[in-house]
Amino acid sequence: MNFQHTDDRRMLADSLNRFVSEQYGFGTRDRIAKSAEGFSAELWSRFAELGIIGALFDEAHGGFGGDGFDIAVVFESLGRGLVIEPFLDTLIVGQAIARSGNEQQQTLLAELIDGSRIVALAHDEPGTHYETSRVSSRAERDADGWILRGAKAVVQHGEHANLLLVSARTSGDDGAEDGISLFLLPRDTPGITLRGYRKIDGGRAAEVVLDHVRVGADALLGEADQGYVTLEYGIGFGLLALCAEALGAMDVAKDHTLEFLRTRKQFGVPIGSFQALQHRMADLLLEIEQARSAVINAAAALGAARVTRERALSAAKYSIGRIGALVAEECIQLHGGIGMTWELPLAHYAKRLVMIDHQLGDEDHHLARYIALGRDPD
């Protein structure tokens, strides 16, 4: 396997890293994270103008990338800056539309890529424990389309999304893969209620209630009862993105900690000269390289057959969850008490690393999933 990025990807990473370092400093990020919107519409438009959103999609759907390594490059750079604009849901929902949308629905991809339309995935429900197939919200046919009822939890940027991708069960038991359907719903559709709140790692999310939401037949994405495959496919892109984002955050946390060990003095010498701290830092560097290898493996497997792809993604998410928590803990401990302060960027990187573990399935979930997929004959 060639571990070197192409010239185009290196240029993409360089331009994005430069933009984030110059325009998305910690003070700017902190202000955006605390805002009522939870992201910056102005910066979102500028990211789109730079072509960053377009790098997440292939040429057939209006982008210029879409490969696993393109996605990894973009999200690693976003992780370095703790960027909280809605890249993740744009990727997941966009890939779901690209895979299963009809001709009319696929025209929405141009609006996603130019940043003019904000989308959000409304799939998780209270008590689902990360199981993608566990959907209790219901959609029933009526004369003109569908009627949806149910509730969705932790919908990222849900308050300000123009369009929600909603999963609902149209047949079968709550935990069955068959019987899930996907619907594209404008946020202001009558019957949709949202309650927004701030997230612990910055930005905003929302709880969504679907109360007798009536939509036309054209809201259905793909075929009725066959939404699980599309959902798993889109979430797979999200898993890779989260793993790459965590890798970028780990690199920054590592760099800040190394700088602290070089400059903080005790007994007249830098504390980095103490052998016990050197050993802890060396172990941490090895773990981060292990995480990097897992991300590379997942990026390479994104276009593979289902079981190979999903096992690589779950292996990466498990590794990132474990190593991310370790990096957060060790970097804070090596900084001492100052590592917990709100004013120090490190504390925010640590929070983000911990919260990434809980998005789209934590390490325990993905370890079990990796084992289960190993038994799958398909």
Please report whether residue 91 resides in a domain. yes
Q: Where does the chain have alpha helices with state H?
A: 7-23, 26-34, 41-49, 68-80, 87-100, 103-106, 108-113, 227-263, 275-301, 306-335, 345-358, 363-374
pLDDT confidence tier of residue 168, bands split at 50, 70 and 90:
very high
Task: State the pLDDT at residue 2.
Answer: 58
The last residue of a domain, from among 224, 244, 265: 224
Distance CA 208, CA 158 (A): 8
If asked whether residues 105 and 200 sit together in one domain, one would say: no
DSSP 60: G
If asked whether residues 217 and 354 sit together in one domain, one would say: no
Task: State the pLDDT at residue 5.
Answer: 78
Q: Give the residues across from 196 on adjacent strands.
A: 206
Please report whether residue 133 resides in a domain. yes
Mean pLDDT of the 162-175 span: 95
Residues 361 and 326: beta-carbon distance below 8 Å? no
Please report whether residue 25 resides in a domain. yes
Lowest mean pLDDT among 70-74, 217-221, 372-376: 372-376
Please report whether residue 1 resides in a domain. no
Percent of the chain topping pLDDT 70: 98
Amino acid identity, residue 349?
A: Y
In the three-class reduction of DSSP (H, G, I as helix; E, B as strand; rest coil), residue 51 is classed as: coil
Please report whether residue 2 resides in a domain. no
What is the total count of domains within the chain? Answer: 3
Please report whether residue 26 resides in a domain. yes
Burial class (CB in 10 A: 0-12, 13-18, 19+), 312: buried
Please report whether residue 74 resides in a domain. yes
Residues 68 and 312: beta-carbon distance below 8 Å? no
Task: State the pLDDT at residue 273.
Answer: 81
DSSP readout, 298-312?
A: HHHHTTS-HHHHHHH
Task: State the pLDDT at residue 378.
Answer: 56
If asked whether residues 65 and 151 sit together in one domain, one would say: no
If asked whether residues 136 and 239 sit together in one domain, one would say: no
Question: CATH code at 26?
Answer: 1.10.540.10
pLDDT tens-digit profile of 315-338? 999 999 999 999 999 999 999 888
Mean predicted lDDT score pLDDT of the chain = 94
If asked whether residues 289 and 369 sit together in one domain, one would say: yes
Residues 120 and 234: beta-carbon distance below 8 Å? no
If asked whether residues 334 and 272 sit together in one domain, one would say: yes
If asked whether residues 100 and 140 sit together in one domain, one would say: no
If asked whether residues 233 and 336 sit together in one domain, one would say: yes
Task: State the pLDDT at residue 376.
Answer: 66
pLDDT tens-digit profile of 4-15? 778 888 999 999
Mean pLDDT of the 123-132 span: 92
**Domain housing 267:** 229-374
If asked whether residues 256 and 361 sit together in one domain, one would say: yes
Percent of the chain topping pLDDT 90: 87
Burial class (CB in 10 A: 0-12, 13-18, 19+), 371: exposed
If asked whether residues 361 and 247 sit together in one domain, one would say: yes
Mean pLDDT of the 208-224 span: 96
Question: CATH code at 182?
Answer: 2.40.110.10
Please provide residue 163's backbone torsions phi and psi, each rounded to the nearest 5 degrees. -140, 135
The last residue of a domain, from among 96, 113, 130: 113
How far CA 299 is from CA of 84, 250, 281, 339, in Å, comes to 22, 18, 27, 32
From the CB of residue 144, how many other CB atoms can be counted at a distance below 10 Å? 10
Mean pLDDT of the 176-201 span: 96
The last residue of a domain, from among 61, 89, 113: 113
Contacts of 100 (CB under 8 A, 6+ apart): 182, 221, 222, 223, 227, 230
If asked whether residues 202 and 251 sit together in one domain, one would say: no
If asked whether residues 203 and 335 sit together in one domain, one would say: no
pTM of the model as a whole: 0.96
Output the CA torsion sign for 250, 256, 259, 263.
negative
pLDDT tens-digit profile of 266-307? 888 888 888 999 999 999 999 999 999 999 999 999 999 999
Task: State the pLDDT at residue 31.
Answer: 94
